[in-house]
């Protein structure tokens, strides 16, 4: 059981809380309390209860999936799946294998959601988005997605390790995210769950700053022209996604388009530059209400060293009404790039003299 603390107000919270509801600051992991014997017993009891009934799901190392993929080691796990490093036997290519948890593998709706994730993401082909290479099932049943293996770290880990980012580091990454999401939107795919955990930073010498931003996990993605059965499957979309990054229309359960992702990227950009969220409140409900009223903290109130034009870009992206935001990811990316001036390093990076 992990404990998390707000570095600003020093209040402790239990996982899976990610942000302080008082001031919106990202929480950091803290050491567990001293072991008194009883505490160890409680932790072990929780861990035991959390273990899947079938050990196959939590220990696939050395096994073969679908006769095509050899499992190397586990990379991580979440509430819905385990992720393994694997190898395609025929080519020797490294892959990431996302295995649905045992409980969800037996749930037809969850299996259908994973199938939909695969069908959507197989259409993606862009250096700044992570596609799905394949979908598989075994007789157990064990259900998995095959993705390219991307060495690097999630943006969320980078933020915790490095803190608020300099403009020279953040703007190239934001522009790359815009390019990847514009590609998805061109295929009528809205991500709906943009957050730092869903952006991988991959070492790449050809990328500005040596890092390539790759938008991951289109598991909540939705096609704007969805078939009726898909609409029925995603009727619970109002409670899906990560609340801290949801657009006002997503909170209200309204129809979404690419401008909802524009809003989420505005929240993400604010966090990258400041290390906190743009909306404050004593409770999550107050933070949500602040978003519906359109009362974000001004960027330069936290980072007065940043350009006023950059603050204007983020303020517009966080507009309550979608029509008042940048109309596309291309427009948002261009706004980020131009907010830092037409000369200098960004002129070279983005083709301006």
Domain ranges of the chain: 3-50, 55-148, 153-349
Give the CATH architecture of domain 153-349: Orthogonal Bundle (1.10)
d(CA 119, CA 116): 5
Contacts of residue 166, defined as CB under 8 A and 6 or more positions apart, other chains included, come to none
Q: What's the pLDDT tens digit per position in 264-312? A: 999 999 999 999 999 877 776 777 788 888 889 999 999 999 999 999 9
Mean pLDDT estimate for the chain: 79
Q: How many other CB atoms sit within 10 Å of the CB of residue 84? A: 24
> From the CB of residue 108, how many other CB atoms can be counted at a distance below 10 Å?
7
User: What pLDDT was estimated at residue 1?
Assistant: 43
* Residues annotated catalytic, as ranges: 193
Q: Of the ranges 13-22, 72-81, 264-273, 313-322, which one carries the lowest mean pLDDT score? A: 13-22
d(CA 94, CA 129): 17
Please tell me the distance from the alpha carbon of residue 17 to that of residue 20, in angstroms, as a whole number. Answer: 8
In which band, very low, low, confident or very high, does the pLDDT at 245 lie, cut at 50, 70 and 90? confident
Residue 149 has pLDDT above 80, yes or no: yes
CATH superfamily for 55-148 is Phosphorylase Kinase; domain 1 (3.30.200.20)
Least confident of 141-150, 200-209, 314-323: 141-150
Range scoring the smallest mean pLDDT among 236-245, 273-282, 287-296, 342-351: 342-351
């Amino acid at each position: 059981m992990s404990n998390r603390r707000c570095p600003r107000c020093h209040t402790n919270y239990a996982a899976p809380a990610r942000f302080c509801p008082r001031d919106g600051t990202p929480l950091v992991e803290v050491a567990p309390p001293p072991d008194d014997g009883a505490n160890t017993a409680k932790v072990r009891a929780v861990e035991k209860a959390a273990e899947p009934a079938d050990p196959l799901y939590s220990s696939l190392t050395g096994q073969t999936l679908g006769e095509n993929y050899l499992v190397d080691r586990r990379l991580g796990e979440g509430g819905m799946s385990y992720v393994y490093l694997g190898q395609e036997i025929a080519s020797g290519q490294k892959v990431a294998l996302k295995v649905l948890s045992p409980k969800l593998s037996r749930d037809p709706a969850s299996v259908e959601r994973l199938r939909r994730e695969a069908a959507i993401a197989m259409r993606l082909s862009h250096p700044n988005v992570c596609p799905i290479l394949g979908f598989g099932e075994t007789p157990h049943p064990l259900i998995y997605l095959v993705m390219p293996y991307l060495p690097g770290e999630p943006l969320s880990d980078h933020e915790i390790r490095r803190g608020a980012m300099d403009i020279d580091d953040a703007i190239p990454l934001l522009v790359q995210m815009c390019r990847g999401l514009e590609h998805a939107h061109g295929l009528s795919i809205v991500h709906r769950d943009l957050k730092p955990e869903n952006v991988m930073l991959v070492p790449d010498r050809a990328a500005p700053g040596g890092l390539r931003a790759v938008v991951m996990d289109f598991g909540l993605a939705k096609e704007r022209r969805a078939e009726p059965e898909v609409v029925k499957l995603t009727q619970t979309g109002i409670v899906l996604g990560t609340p801290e990054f949801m657009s006002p229309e997503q909170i209200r359960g309204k129809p979404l388009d690419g401008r909802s992702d524009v809003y989420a990227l505005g929240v993400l950009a604010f966090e990258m530059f400041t290390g906190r969220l743009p909306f404050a409140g004593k409770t999550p409900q107050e933070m949500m209400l602040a978003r519906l009223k359109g009362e974000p903290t001004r960027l330069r109130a936290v980072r007065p060293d940043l350009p006023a034009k950059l603050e204007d870009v983020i303020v517009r992206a966080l507009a309550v009404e979608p029509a008042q935001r940048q109309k596309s990811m291309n427009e948002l990316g261009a706004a980020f790039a131009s907010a830092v001036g037409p000369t200098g390093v960004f002129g070279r990076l983005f083709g301006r003299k």
